[in-house]
């Protein structure tokens, strides 16, 4: 059930998921997909993943590392970590507020 709710694919926030994944350390594309599935239940498809990677790289929130392999790893930058913190703090407020209000609505 939880998977169904969160598995919004392209319409979830893949950028946030990628930043959260890379916060644990550098990863290449496939490792990111697996990691994201593990902690969020969302299976990102390659097109969505690389669309988000492209945007994050342009903003300077992640950067590619040198690799001899075709699978190029990415790591989060300091700016990316700050952005992630801000995003999570916002979501935290949203979640806290939502949880506080839910029982009140149900009671009402």
From the list 17-25, 41-49, 84-92, 96-104, the region that binds another protein by CB under 8 A is: 41-49
SS3 label, residue 27:
strand
Nearer to another protein, 58 or 105 (CB): 58
DSSP letters, 37-97, are HHHH-----HHHHHHHHHHHHHHTSEEEPP-SSSS--EEE-HHHHHHHHHHHHHHHHHHHH
Question: What residues from 53 to 92 belong to the interface with another protein (CB under 8 A)?
Answer: 53-54, 58, 69-72
The correct pick among 15, 21, 48, 77 for binding another protein (CB under 8 A) is 48
Measured from the CB of residue 84, what is the shortest distance to another protein in angstroms? 22
Q: Which residues bind another protein (CB under 8 A)?
A: 9-10, 28-30, 33, 45-51, 53-54, 58, 69-72
């Amino acid at each position: 059930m939880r998977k169904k709710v969160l598995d919004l694919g392209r319409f979830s926030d893949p950028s946030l998921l990628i930043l959260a994944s890379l916060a644990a350390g550098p990863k290449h594309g496939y490792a990111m997909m697996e990691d994201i599935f593990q902690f969020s239940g969302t299976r990102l498809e390659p097109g969505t993943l690389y669309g988000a990677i492209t945007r994050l790289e342009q903003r300077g929130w992640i950067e590619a590392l040198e690799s001899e392999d075709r699978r190029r790893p990415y790591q989060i930058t300091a700016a990316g970590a700050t952005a992630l913190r801000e995003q999570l703090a916002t979501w935290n407020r949203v979640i806290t507020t939502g949880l506080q209000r839910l029982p009140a609505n149900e009671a009402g």
